[in-house]
Every structure is written in C-alpha cells, then in structure tokens.
Amino acid sequence: MKLFVPSPGHIDSLKELLTQKEKIYSIFMAGSPDYIGTGRSNLASPQLEDIKEQTEFAHKNGVKMELVLNSSCMGGRQLTPEGYRTNHWYVEKLVDIGIDSIVVADPYLVETISRDFDVDVVVSVLAFVDSPQKAEFFEDLGAKSIVIDSNVNRHFDVLHAIRDSVDCELKLLVNEGCLYRCPFRYAHFNFFSHAFGPEPRPNVLDDYYYLKCLELRIENPELIIKSPWIRPEDIKLYRDITDVYKIGGRTHFVDWILNCVNAYYNESYDGNLMDILDCPKDLKDLYNIPNKSLDGILEKQWTNCKKVCNKCGYCRTLTKKVTQVYSNGGTEHQMCLPWETGAVKT
C-alpha cells in the first residue's frame, strides 16, 4: 500500500508526521498561494526555501514529496503570457528543488508541465475524472497518475472501467466526506482557488458552501452515510483497482492526520467514523457513527448500489440504525442518543 499523507505545510508538522515514516509513501502539501494556488483551504504558504528544506528532509527519511497546485480556477491568468511565464518559472524552481510530483487540476497545466519538465504530473481529484474516457484523455496529455473523482468511489463498474482503460497510476481519495454528487462542488472549489490563490483574494466572512453543506447534514445525516468515503477496513475491496491511497486533511492537526494514517495503514479503525473524515470536521462533535457498525456494508450493499435512493431506502434505514447524536456536549452530562430521538425533519 502506498499512502499519500497531507502536511499542513511547515517543517514542524513534517517532522512530527515523519516520526511514522515507515507508514508513509509520500507527503503532499500546498505551495505558495502567490502562483497557482490550490482548490482547498490552506494553513501555510511555504516559500521556495521552505519547500526545499522540507523536500530534503522528506527525502532524507525515504519519503517522497508532492506539491499540490490544483487550483480549479485561475481566472484565465494561466493563459496570458505573464501567467505562463510566472507559472513556468515556479514549476521550474520546484523541479530544481527535487519535488517528486506535482498535482494539477487544469488540463493545460497537465499538458505543459508534462511536456516541459522532468516531474510526474498527477491529475487532481478536482479535475473530476469519473469515466474511462476522461482518464484516457488525461493520460494522453501526459499524466503519470490520476486521483479519481471521489464521487465514483463506490461505483465499482466505473472504477474497473477506468483501470482497464489506462496504464498510469490511479489514486483513491479515501476519507473525503463531501456530499455525494455535491451541488456546491465546482463553485466551492473555484471559491477556494481564488481565496487561496494569487491576489486579489476575496475577503469573505462566511463560506456559504461549507455552512450550507453542514446545514443539509444536520437536517439529514443520511447524507454523511452516502458520502463516498472508503473505510480503512474496506481498502481490501479496492486492491484490484489500485494500491495507492490519498488521505485528505491538510488543514488538520498532525495528531489527527497520524490517527488517519494509522487507521488506513492498519486497515482498521475502532472509533467514530467522523474522527477520520476530512470534511465536515465540525460535525464530529455532533454525530457519533461507530465505524465498526459499518463492517461488511460496502461488500453487501454498496458494491452493487444503483444509486436510486428514493426506490431503495437502504442508507436511510442504516442511518437510523447507526447514527448517534452527542447531547450535553462538553459537560459532565455528555451522552450519545440515537439520532431519531432528536430529529423531526429529515
């Protein structure tokens, strides 16, 4: 198993993460927001000298370093002569530093970086590769690896078709708890790309997409159960597709990240499923979904799921069975109650 593990972006985080280096194949982190930016929120803005120091440290410990430059919207800047020169200069510096791979979402960057540099180009999950046709397209552009759109994590027919269509490496993002077929996905990642990309950055007080996502799941936790996460115990069912897995969570504390690393490395987690989902982290203080209560569900139900929820109802019933709500949180009276006891509207 090759685990790609997030780093919040500073050397102290990396040193802590690599205390468990034997479980980590590669670290990934964002670069400076001043060039290409990323499609997710970011805690650090490592400059080239920081990236160099961290890359050398990772390599000294036998771990690879991947830079994530997966902005989903650059406002067309990448196509201007100035944007092209700036981005090219930045990638050149990263390659000189010895970065092992660069993750991008824009097909233009996949093609130009693959053509002009001696570095592995990884197609980001934000390129939404959810079909064999799209995977072939990116492979032809020069991709060495593709992170498959997590929306199809439980569509085994599509996963196998992608596997059969390309020779490049495939990666699965295992712990993203985003809404299945999330309606906010494109708008949210485009917003992040500007908020965590080059100036000018929007000064936004409230992230509508995040808050709306939470609201929907507080109204209906079935949406958490339907999210396309892959439990550590279920990794074994994906082995004929890939052995490369990416753990999301570069805005978390190292302790949280290492908890996920251990769960996936050991292919087992005895705790609240919400503990290991990257998003939505706020809801871990609301819901307790014992991970072990989901043993066997993927194999029994979701591998053959037709995704016609109104005719099925399996996830609805499962949600009622396994979901608990924390009550009186943070006090001596804290307890877990079945979700149904506090819910009227679903």
| Residues in touch with another protein (CB under 8 A) | 206, 208, 211-212, 214-215, 218-219, 282-283, 285-286, 325, 327-331, 333-334, 339, 342-345
How far is it, in rounded angstroms, from Cα 305 to Cα 333?
40
How near is the Cβ of 274 to another protein at its closest, in Å? 12
How near is the Cβ of 21 to another protein at its closest, in Å? 35
- Residue type, position 197, single letter: G
Contact present, 245 and 1 (Cβ < 8 Å)? yes
How near is the Cβ of 44 to another protein at its closest, in Å? 23
Question: Between 10 and 212, whose beta carbon lies closer to another protein?
Answer: 212
The DSSP bridge partners found for residue 68 are 30, 103
Question: Between 3 and 286, whose beta carbon lies closer to another protein?
Answer: 286
Question: Between 7 and 324, whose beta carbon lies closer to another protein?
Answer: 324
Question: Between 11 and 343, whose beta carbon lies closer to another protein?
Answer: 343
Tokens 């991970």 locate to 291
Q: What 8-state DSSP symbol labels residue 272? A: B
Tokens 């109650």 locate to 337
How near is the Cβ of 52 to another protein at its closest, in Å? 38
How near is the Cβ of 319 to another protein at its closest, in Å? 13
Question: Between 237 and 343, whose beta carbon lies closer to another protein?
Answer: 343
DSSP helix/strand/coil, 255: helix
CA distances from 208 to 3, 249, 274, 339, 343 (A): 32, 20, 22, 25, 24
The DSSP bridge partners found for residue 27 are 5, 65
